[in-house]
Amino acid sequence: MKWTATITKIGKQAIEPKGNMVILFGENVTPELVDVSVIQKFNAQTPVSSFIMKKGDTITIDGQTYIADFVGSMVTSDMRALGHVTLFFNQKKSKNPLANGVYFTIEDKQTMPEFNIGDDIVYEHI
């Protein structure tokens, strides 16, 4: 199954190149979180209400596909309720990983993706 979301807004402090972490929220995000979040709107043909993500599933951003090494226990429910997930690129999963986090290992030729308004994010449950 695939879900497609379009980036509709990028908060002023949402992208930290050295941080390798991005917080995503749906359009119902609270004003306090807008500045630190990338806002996404799911396509009507792929409603977020049916979202599922497990280890081994993929996300494609900026033409690059990443495979999930770890998917926190709250990812599916937070995405369905709020369009919310925290993406970690090339960070080792800690002893207490975030319950709403998805951790990805960046392959040799990959970099952290760029996030641009109007770009799609494609989530694929394999």
pLDDT at position 107, please?
Answer: 79
How does residue 95 score in pLDDT terms, banded at 50, 70 and 90?
A: confident
Tell which CATH classification among 2.40.33.40, 3.40.50.1820, 3.90.1170.10, 2.40.50.140 matches the domain 2-124.
2.40.33.40
| Confidence label for 20 from pLDDT (cuts 50, 70 and 90) | confident
Question: What percent of the chain is modeled with pLDDT above 70?
Answer: 97
Structure tokens at 45: 């043909």
Distance CA 40, CA 118 (A): 9
Burial class (CB in 10 A: 0-12, 13-18, 19+), 41: middle
Distance CA 72, CA 55 (A): 9
The helix/strand/coil state of 23 is: strand
Give the mean model confidence (pLDDT) for residues 116-125.
97
Q: ∠ CA 26-49-43 to the nearest 5 degrees?
A: 60
- Count of residues making up the chain: 126
Nearest CA among 113, 102, 56 for reference residue 79: 102
The model carries a pTM of 0.93
Map out the domains of the chain as residue ranges. Answer: 2-124
How many alpha carbons fall within 13 Å on the CB side of residue 37?
20
- Structural contact between residues 43 and 83, judged by C-beta atoms closer than 8 angstroms: no
* Cα distance between residue 49 and residue 76, in whole Å: 9
